[in-house]
Amino acid sequence: MLAEPLQPTQYAAALGTIALTYYLVPYFLDPYNYRRRFSGPWLAGLTGWWMSYNALGGNHSEIVRKQHEKYGAFVRLGPNHISIADPDALQAVYGHGSGVLKTDFYKGSGQVPNVFTSMEKSDHQMRRKRIANIFSQQNILAFEPRVREHIIHLLKRGSRETLDGKQGADFIDKLLQVKNEDGSSISIEELYSETFLFLLAGSDTSSNTLSSLCYHLAINPQMQRELQTELDQHIPLDSSDDSEEQTGLGIVPEYEQIKDLPYLNACIKEALRIHSTVGTGLPRVVPPGKTLKVAGHTFKAGSVISVPSYTTNRSSVWGPDASEFRPERWLEENAGSLNKYFVPFSVGPRSCIGRNLANMDLLLIAATLFRRYSVKALPTTKLEIHEYFVREAAHCEVAIKLREVV
Which segments of 98-245 does DSSP mark as H helices, in order? 121-131, 144-156, 171-176, 188-199, 205-219, 221-234
Query: Residue 162 has what pLDDT?
Result: 35
| Cα separation values, 78 from 42, 49, 53, 105, 306, Å | 9, 8, 12, 13, 11
Q: Are strands 297-299 and 292-294 parallel, antiparallel or unpaired?
A: antiparallel
Residues 85-140 have pLDDT tens digits of 999 999 999 998 888 988 887 775 556 777 777 777 777 778 888 877 878 888 88
| pLDDT over 80 at 15, yes or no | no
Residue type, 217: L
Residue ranges of the annotated binding site for heme are 352
Query: Residue 192 has what pLDDT?
Result: 64
Alpha-carbon distance of 158 to 127, in angstroms, equals 37
Query: Residue 202 has what pLDDT?
Result: 62
Residues 178-191 have pLDDT tens digits of 677 777 777 777 77
Q: Is 154 exposed, middle or buried (0-12, 13-18, 19+ CB in 10 A)?
A: middle
| pLDDT over 80 at 231, yes or no | yes
Residue ranges of the annotated binding site are 352
Q: How far apart are the first and last CA of the chain?
A: 100
For residue 26, what is the enclosing H or E element?
helix 8-29
Q: Where are the beta strands (DSSP E) in 49-96?
A: 74-78, 81-84
User: Which residues is 81 bridged to in the sheet?
Assistant: 78, 304
Give the pLDDT band of residue 145 (cuts 50, 70, 90): confident
| pLDDT over 60 at 238, yes or no | no
Query: Residue 402 has what pLDDT?
Result: 87
Query: Residue 248 has what pLDDT?
Result: 45
Query: Are residues 309 and 278 in contact, defined by beta-carbon separation less than 8 angstroms?
Result: yes
pTM for the full predicted model: 0.81
| pLDDT over 60 at 263, yes or no | yes
| Cα separation values, 364 from 133, 331, 368, Å | 22, 20, 6
Q: Are strands 304-306 and 81-84 parallel, antiparallel or unpaired?
A: parallel
Query: Residue 20 has what pLDDT?
Result: 53
Q: Is 231 exposed, middle or buried (0-12, 13-18, 19+ CB in 10 A)?
A: buried
Query: Are residues 205 and 390 in contact, defined by beta-carbon separation less than 8 angstroms?
Result: yes
Query: Are residues 153 and 159 in contact, defined by beta-carbon separation less than 8 angstroms?
Result: yes
Instruction: Calculate helix-pair angle for 144-156, 355-372, nearest 10 degrees.
Output: 30
Average pLDDT, the chain: 82
CA atoms within 13 A of residue 318's CA, in its CB half-sphere: 25
Query: Residue 189 has what pLDDT?
Result: 73
